[in-house]
Amino acid sequence: MRYFSLKKRNAFVDFRQATLEGQAPDGGLYFPEKIPVWSNGLIRGLRQHSKASIGIGIMQPYVGDAIPTKELFTIVEETLSFDFPLRRIEERISSLELFHGPTLAFKDVGARFLSRCMGYFAQTLHQKIVVLVATSGDTGGAVADAFYNVPGTAVIVLYPSGKVSPVQEKQLTALGGNIHALEIEGDFDDCQRLVKMAFQDEALKKNILLTSSNSINISRWLPQQIYYALGLAQWDADSNPIIAVPSGNFGNLCAGLLAKQSGLPVEHFIAACNANEVFTSYMNTGQYCPTDSIPTLSNAMDVGNPSNFIRILELFNNNWQAIKETVSSVSITDAATTATIQKVHASKGYILDPHAAVAYKALQDHLENNETQKGFILGTADPVKFPDVVEQAIGISPVVPERLKKLMKKQKNSQLTSWEYPAFRSRAVEILKNI
């Protein structure tokens, strides 16, 4: 399989190069040259096959000969080494819980697949792969955890001092080993600026491969298809499901749409958004008008210009009508989000996180007008990651899992670092010298 840049639409590269580069040199997103068609065996056999063999069936055509099947099997198996239960919440609504991984959010899947592919490529590179990542909270935790102890790789993560939650800070700083945390005396924009400057610093990049493990990397995007298939493997209704996806940067939804084009039997998708309704407006009007993001309770979805929008256009040949046949989109307010968490807890005893609550409300509204249909939402995070919002809605805080308690007892290990480039640079040089 080859990948091309959606900007200049040329420069074909293989899976290895697209993964190592993350973004194409022209600044575009990589996209597969062909969409694979899943075999009948894969689709009909969903119930019989193991998670790893479903994962291999989906990923093999994308990886091609960049990674031998035996190694790819190990990568997929490690990526999926936790549960993906489909839980019935009410008669026609279930939740595919994607948050049983190490950092309690669905981003673990993409981050783990990426880290292990990078680890494999590092063996043949004769260079260390160093991931430099700026985080406002969640992404950095998933990336740090995924790369922890992966041979041939190291992570330098920059986060704004005092601006991440206590759980997030521990996820970034308590690992040690090949994970190096810099606590920047500034805000998230300062962290991003330092990362950008480092990428332009040729002397700093000497002898290492500096990469960003960006969320648009194909190795984070493509494996997200697997859990849609794992959801369908547990689906036992007569009709195909409606799937509601809480969406921000639209990588998750776009992976589902890709899976459907390959043959996954899905009736319809709902892109569930918060007040950041750029995609909802596009679906209503055909006009795409990116804006600044608006802060909401479901803050991992506060995106005003989703990077994967362009991939959705490509999947449907820029045909707005065709997109409308497969996807609809709604925007859910913070008030409705809180009310949904409250109602579902009161009537079903199930605790939704604010992102899943957005999807729940969107699916519920849809099903009210479509009485014969059934569906599921993607549960993208454990409610324990958003204790304040949840507690405000239901009056109690979600139960803290044992492994999170263990994490909170661990020592924070970070270096307080100035927001000025020279200070950051000398810290980075020191770290790079010792890896």
Ligand X SMILES: *Cc1c(COP(=O)(O)O)cnc(C)c1O
| Sites of contact with ligand X (CB under 6 A) | 105, 107, 138, 246-252, 300-301, 355, 380-381
Work out how close the CB of 215 gets to ligand X at its nearest, in angstroms, rounded to a whole number.
Answer: 7
CA atoms within 13 A on the CB side of 173: 24
Rounded to the nearest 5 degrees, what angle is found at the Cα of 422, between the Cα atoms of 418 and 424? 50
List the beta bridge partners of residue 129: 153, 209
Using the minimum distance from each CB to ligand X, give the nearer residue, 161 or 249: 249
Work out how close the CB of 352 gets to ligand X at its nearest, in angstroms, rounded to a whole number.
Answer: 11
Report residue 55 as tokens.
């994962």
| CA separation for the pair 432, 435 (Å, rounded) | 5
Using the minimum distance from each CB to ligand X, give the nearer residue, 97 or 190: 97
Using the minimum distance from each CB to ligand X, give the nearer residue, 112 or 355: 355
Cβ-count burial of 78 within 10 angstroms (0-12 exposed, 13-18 middle, 19+ buried)? middle
Work out how close the CB of 389 gets to ligand X at its nearest, in angstroms, rounded to a whole number.
Answer: 12
What Å distances lie between residue 63 and 6, 32, 139, 171, 414, CA to CA? 19, 10, 24, 30, 36
**Closest C-alpha to 275, from 291, 289, 290, 295:** 295
Using the minimum distance from each CB to ligand X, give the nearer residue, 104 or 210: 104
Using the minimum distance from each CB to ligand X, give the nearer residue, 186 or 246: 246
Work out how close the CB of 47 gets to ligand X at its nearest, in angstroms, rounded to a whole number.
Answer: 27
Using the minimum distance from each CB to ligand X, give the nearer residue, 268 or 355: 355
Using the minimum distance from each CB to ligand X, give the nearer residue, 221 or 419: 221
**Closest C-alpha to 28, from 9, 43, 45:** 9
Work out how close the CB of 169 gets to ligand X at its nearest, in angstroms, rounded to a whole number.
Answer: 17
| CA separation for the pair 31, 268 (Å, rounded) | 23
Work out how close the CB of 172 gets to ligand X at its nearest, in angstroms, rounded to a whole number.
Answer: 15
Report residue 168 as tokens.
């997030």
| CA separation for the pair 63, 391 (Å, rounded) | 43
| CA separation for the pair 3, 24 (Å, rounded) | 10
Using the minimum distance from each CB to ligand X, give the nearer residue, 120 or 279: 279
Work out how close the CB of 138 gets to ligand X at its nearest, in angstroms, rounded to a whole number.
Answer: 5
The helix (run of H) or strand (run of E) holding residue 158 is: strand 153-160
